[in-house]
Amino acid sequence: MIVEINQPLGALNTFGISAKAHRMVRIRAESDLQAVLADPQWHEAAKFILGGGSNIILTGDVKALVLKVEIMGRRLVSEDDQAWVLEAGAGENWHEWVTWTLTNGWPGLENMAMIPGTVGAAPVQNIGAYGVELQDRFESLDAVDLQTGKTLTLKAEHCGFGYRDSVFKHGGAADASHADVAEGPLRALSPMGLAGRVLITRVRFRLPKAWRADISYLDLARKAEATGIDCPDATTIFDWVCEIRSAKLPDPKVLGNAGSFFKNPTVTAEQCADIIARDPGVVHYVLADGRYKLAAGWLIDACGWRGKTMGHAGVYDKQALVLVNRGDAQHPCTGGEVVTLAKAIQTSVYERFGIRLEMEPVLV
């Protein structure tokens, strides 16, 4: 086991915030993790699990032992008349995984092309894009309990998937919202949540053979109309998603960012009607349960934030939902500046619309 000391994290987070990990271990196989847990020095130490760093904001140097997940491997696990079951190591790059499945003739993940990060982090916030979420294609995952070292296999019913949410995002006794997932293999674990408690090592996907194009999302429907292709195949949808995303979102290699910074809030029909009465242009979608989802980017834009800068953190000029790094080598952007900007945005959206925006990235 090699413990890297004072490891710079600037290149290991897509916001490009400079910070260090006091101690970092690369986990390339389950045995690396078992070695950490068997070492008396590290067994009880606080730990932070790092994937591709595309959904975190570093607010300082990380004192916890950083476990950098680099478990690789891709395979077809099984196949029957109904579906293919595929498996990827947690350290695989998500977009490369999606590309590989399509190249091998296994469609189903194309709407989620180009989401940065690793396969192992995908269940943590139940990633989703263009009308499809991870939970729609999820079979099961393997994870190691960082306290006992035991390996668990978790099915969807154990994961508490929700909109950009799962049991892996919650922890501690204060949060009982996921108490009902503590069944079966989780019974011995905290009934409240698994954030920081388990490291996901492998994820399996079920891709139905009865594939159907999902172009219900407005941007994809527009592409179908513009190209005249009503029934695109999976590769065409993949290409469309890549084109749309490249035009809309800043490339983290050019402009540091963590993707959408806030979740789209859900409101009651009465709240939505009230906002429409005052702001008829508000972008909203009705949900199956009769409530409404509002476009957080629109709310932020309406408060005048698009293109603004505070310190060295800013709001992307093409999409107000994305906060960006406007620092440079001489004047670096700090995590504190990002949080200050995010809180100022939350306050002004609350003051104007009475809605509390929830941050999507994890503050470390």
Ligand X SMILES: Cc1cc2nc3c(=O)[nH]c(=O)nc-3n(C[C@H](O)[C@H](O)[C@H](O)COP(=O)(O)OP(=O)(O)OC[C@H]3O[C@@H](n4cnc5c(N)ncnc54)[C@H](O)[C@@H]3O)c2cc1C
Catalytic residue among 23, 260, 306, 337: 260
Minimum distance from CB of 351 to ligand X (Å)? 27
Angle CA 107–111–112, to nearest 5 = 100
In the complex, the smallest distance separating the C-beta of residue 269 from ligand X, rounded to whole angstroms, is 26
CB of 183 to ligand X, least distance (A): 20
Which CB atom, from 126 or from 334, has the smaller least distance to ligand X? 126
Nearer to ligand X, 186 or 272 (CB): 186
Q: Which residue's CB is nearer to ligand X, number 152 or number 272?
A: 152
Catalytic residue among 87, 110, 133, 360: 360
How far apart are CB 199 and ligand X at their closest, in Å?
5
The helix or strand, by DSSP H or E, that contains position 278, with its residue range, turns out to be helix 269-278
User: By the criterion CB under 6 A, which residues form the site for ligand X?
Assistant: 14, 48-56, 69, 90, 115-118, 120-122, 124-125, 127-129, 164, 168, 199-200, 249, 252, 257-259, 362
- 360 carries an active-site annotation: yes
Which among 23, 26, 137, 164 is annotated as catalytic? Answer: 164
Active site residue 164: yes
Distance of closest approach, residue 210 Cβ to ligand X, in angstroms: 25
Integer Cα distance of 340 and 148 in angstroms: 38
CB within 8 A of 21, min separation 6: which ones? 4, 6, 7, 9, 50, 61, 62, 66
Instruction: Compute, in degrees rounded to 10, the torsion defined by CA atoms 52, 57, 61, 65.
Output: -50
For 40-59, give one letter per residue: b (16+ CB within 10 A) or e: eebeeeebbbbbbbbbbbbb
Q: Are 276 and 284 in contact (CB under 8 A)?
A: yes
Nearer to ligand X, 199 or 207 (CB): 199
3-state helix, strand, coil in the chain (%, to 5): 30, 25, 45
Q: Is 260 a catalytic residue?
A: yes
CB nearer to ligand X: give 125 or 140: 125
Q: Give the separation between CA 241 and CA 86, rounded to whole angstroms.
A: 22
- Tell me the HSE value of 168 on the side-chain side, using a 13 A CA sphere: 27
- Residues annotated as part of the active site: 164, 260, 360
